Amino acid sequence: MINTGPWPSGIANDDEAIIRLQDILLQLAEGERGEELDQEYREIRSAFLENSEYNDVIPRLVRIHRNLGGMWPYMKNFDATWEPRRKHVRDELDPLFARAEHLAKKSTDANPPWPATPPSTDATDWTGMQSRAQRLATARSLLPVARGSIERLIEDLSKPPHNGGPPLSETTEALDNLRKLHRSLGEILDAVEGNNWSAIEQQGLPAEAARYAKRFARSVRYDPMPYASAALLLCVLSACGLPGIAGALSGVALTVSKGPQTGSGKQ
């Protein structure tokens, strides 16, 4: 990783800046917009435009659109469905990732790590963080379990309400996020077969899956059983090293321990 910044607050290096930009554009590809998201996009875009290391590889869709509102018609016209849009975003950002990798390699070649000999103990022993090999092994063993749980949740939530009425908006939202999460985890598992966690992170797949998981948990917060299932699902995803899950998991665990709230949204 290399930092050619300055990047907006909360972004530590080039990789994080590109991944966050991709995440914002993937959300836009699915129709999500908002003032906060737009502000973040404009800050990251400006930082890239002012960065001589990346200026020549900035995707055209980023260069010509100053905000997400202006980019949204472009996205809609590119394709009526969101999956081709998402692929287009990833393809467009490939040159940025390639440039970041080149700069990081050049920096490492110019400043080789010292000492050259590896430490006698695994860094995991003293950092508490999983190595990439461990993350791959964990993902390979646990993500199929998570996907199986998601399939069962989709089946249960798809059943008609007991009162015979239409599905509640919260249930529809939960199902939508579960299906997207199921697809995202499938993409991660496909990439895991290549044994390259770096590529998985560069594509923004873990952050994308984490986003859908947290949205699902919020959607079912008034329904005790799905909410408890959401907690277990977040536990599995946390063990797989997905970013941003820990905070959501702590909030879910606290609420489950007290008992989910009851509200008008309960079927």
If we measure between CA atoms, which residue out of 222, 237, 109 comes closest to residue 173? 222
User: pLDDT value at position 216?
Assistant: 79
Q: What 8-state DSSP symbol labels residue 220?
A: T
Report how far residue 81's alpha carbon sits from residue 30's, in angstroms, rounded to the nearest whole number. Answer: 8
pLDDT, tens digit (0-9, with 9 covering 90-100), for 119-128: 444 444 433 4
Q: What 8-state DSSP symbol labels residue 113?
A: -
User: pLDDT value at position 215?
Assistant: 79
User: pLDDT value at position 258?
Assistant: 46
Q: What is the mean pLDDT of each run of 10 residues along the chain (267 residues)?
A: 82 87 90 91 95 93 95 94 89 89 76 51 43 70 80 83 62 84 83 70 75 77 68 70 59 49 44
Report how far residue 211's alpha carbon sits from residue 28's, in angstroms, rounded to the nearest whole number. Answer: 14
Report how far residue 152's alpha carbon sits from residue 145's, in angstroms, rounded to the nearest whole number. Answer: 11
Give the domain ranges of the chain: 14-107, 130-258
User: pLDDT value at position 50?
Assistant: 93
Report how far residue 105's alpha carbon sits from residue 87's, in angstroms, rounded to the nearest whole number. Answer: 27
Give the burial string for 205-225 (b: 16+ CB within 10 Å, else e). bbbbbbbbbbbbbbbbbbbee
Give the burial string for 160-180 (b: 16+ CB within 10 Å, else e). eeeeeeebbebbebbbebbeb
The CA-based angle 136-93-42, given to 5 degrees, is 115
- Asked if 206 contacts 243 with a C-beta cutoff of 8 angstroms, the reply is yes
Report how far residue 75's alpha carbon sits from residue 139's, in angstroms, rounded to the nearest whole number. Answer: 32
- Lookup: tokens for 40: 């973040």
List Cβ<8 Å contacts ≥24 apart for 167-174. Answer: 168/265, 168/267, 170/219, 170/220, 170/222, 170/223, 170/265, 171/219, 171/267, 173/215, 173/219, 174/216, 174/219, 174/220, 174/226
- Lookup: tokens for 52: 């001589």
